[in-house]
Amino acid sequence: MKLATLTIIASLTTSAAVAAGSGDHSHGHDEGGHMEMMASGMPGMMKDVSRIIDVVMRETDDGDMIFDPDAFEIAQGETIRFNVTNKGELEHEFVIDTIEGNAKHKELMAEMEMEHDDPNSVRLDPGMSDEVIWTFANNGTFEFACLIPGHYESGMHGPIEVAQAVTERTYTKGVVKKIKADAGKVTIIHEELTELDMPAMTMVFRAEDDIISQLSEGQEIEFLADRVKGKLTVSAIK
């Protein structure tokens, strides 16, 4: 009798666990509740917020469902605080992901009732507000969307264009020692090439004709160097 009772309890416990998980749409969390890096970026910290964007979700008189604004332009590395407000009469959500990722989640939500529980999303009843803080670590085209069945098809999605970060480069000081214009080579006595992790020395560099034409022996220059097809090459001077 005791064994039968334990078997029934175990069966009920297992069934309850399955039922509790059937409507959950959380993913990518570790044991501490944090979300792993996604293609679209990662959860951001309030102290790192560089810009605040207000987002409104609503329906139109024509029956469309929209976000306002309907597109975002963001710089790689920015941490954005999205203040999201549902001014419609229906429940809506705001989800950040790749276009492919949103498409997969939309298919899952069409098959069963699911609700997101991730830092890249927020789901709101009419009249409610919340926020998503997101760091866009990668450049590319991503998407924000409402994946509640029928809402995406009614217009609730838009692009997030993340522009590649432009890194300011370090010019190196040097003196032109010798020029071989016909060979496309220039010898430079230069300081440390920090970008290439090379000490100060005298080296021969390749250079295009337009750069060589600006050089003369004994000239003090500042220049950028890159490895082009395995050869050290002067890519810019000033």
State the DSSP string of 144-189: EE--STTTTTTT-EEEEEEEPPPPPPPPEEEEEEEEEGGGTEEEEE
Domain closes at, from 111, 140, 163: 163
Secondary structure class of 133 (helix, strand, coil)? strand
pLDDT in tens, the chain (238 residues): 433 333 333 333 333 333 333 334 444 444 333 456 799 999 999 999 999 999 999 999 999 999 999 999 999 999 999 999 999 999 999 999 999 999 999 888 888 766 667 899 999 999 999 999 999 999 999 999 999 999 999 999 999 999 988 778 899 999 999 999 999 999 999 999 998 999 999 999 999 999 999 999 999 999 999 998 889 999 999 8
Answer yes or no: do 95 and 206 share one domain. no
In a domain, 138, yes or no: yes
Domain that residue 221 falls in: 172-237
Answer yes or no: do 226 and 186 share one domain: yes
Strands 220-228, 231-237: pairing kind: antiparallel
- Write down the pTM of the prediction: 0.61
Among residues 146, 163, 180, the one where a domain terminates is: 163
CB atoms within 10 A of CB 69: 13
How confident is the model over 115-158, as pLDDT tens digits?
667 899 999 999 999 999 999 999 999 999 999 999 999 999 99
Kindly state whether residues 137 and 188 are assigned to the same domain.
no
Instruction: Choose the final residue of a domain: 108, 135, 163.
Output: 163
Residue 152 lies in a domain: yes
CB atoms inside a 10 Å sphere around CB 160: 22
Specify the number of domains making up the chain: 2
133, 68: one domain: yes
